[in-house]
Amino acid sequence: MKRKRKSFYMKTASHRKQDAFAFAFLMIIFLFFSSLLIFSGFIGNYIAKEEWKFDRIAISYMNQIRSEMLTHVFKGITFTGNFLSVLIITLTIAAILIYFKKKKQSLFFSLNVLGLWLFNEILKQIFRRPRPLELRLVHASGYSLPSGHSMVFMGLSALVIYYILRNIHNRKVSVFISCLIFIYAVLVGLSRVYVGVHYFSDVLAGWTVGMLWALSSISLYKKLEFVKKR
């Protein structure tokens, strides 16, 4: 009788895990296609118009709210999204994952951040959109669409949020930290419009592609992990 109960419990536990995986996988796929549709819409409009009215509105608004204090804040935020800062963040998180004996996750995270940088450069070379001509508060070179800071930092943040939700069992704490990280990723993108080196549409495209990349990688990772367990 005890053996039957144990067998029944193991089977139901296995089904619950499969159901949880299926739900998570479907949510990732849903977000993936939503991000893909949004990015496709951006590209379609860009090819047709090459300019959006809300870009001008966003630049005008940022110019109006500029102040000495806000400039210091947004310069600091935008600095955390540059190559050196992202490299330090990536190596730190990779080292933490290795410390907790999660070498595969560490490699997965590092390769994804590298992939995000390379993919951003490819997209910039495809669209070749010039940067805004308005007054810039920081130096920036290269093309404008999509924003590298927005794309890489949003993709990186999505991956970190995935690890947090997966490994921190206190749901309130994990959700709170995840929300803070997501908000900061949004601020990194907005800082690029404030300092005058990107259009708002560049930032929106960057957020979308960064999220698209992260969700694709996570769904593939979970699929391979699930197949391996089975």
> DSSP secondary structure string, 87-125?
HHHHHHHHHHHHHTT-HHHHHHHHHHHHHHHHHHHHHHH
What pLDDT is attached to residue 193? Answer: 92
What pLDDT is attached to residue 138? Answer: 86
pTM: 0.77
The range of the structural domain enclosing residue 144 comes to 2-229
Count of domains forming the chain: 1
What pLDDT is attached to residue 44? Answer: 55
Instruction: Please provide residue 88's backbone torsions phi and psi, each rounded to the nearest 5 degrees.
Output: -65, -45
What pLDDT is attached to residue 53? Answer: 76
What pLDDT is attached to residue 212? Answer: 85
What pLDDT is attached to residue 76? Answer: 93
What pLDDT is attached to residue 166? Answer: 84
In 3D, which of 146, 116, 141 has the Cα closest to residue 129?
A: 146
Stretches where the chain sits below pLDDT 50 are 2, 4, 6, 8-15, 19, 47-48
Question: Residue 34 has which token pair?
Answer: 């939503």
Q: How many CB atoms lie within 10 A of CB 11?
A: 10
C-alpha distance from residue 19 to each of 16, 24, 28, 33, 146 (Å): 5, 9, 14, 21, 37
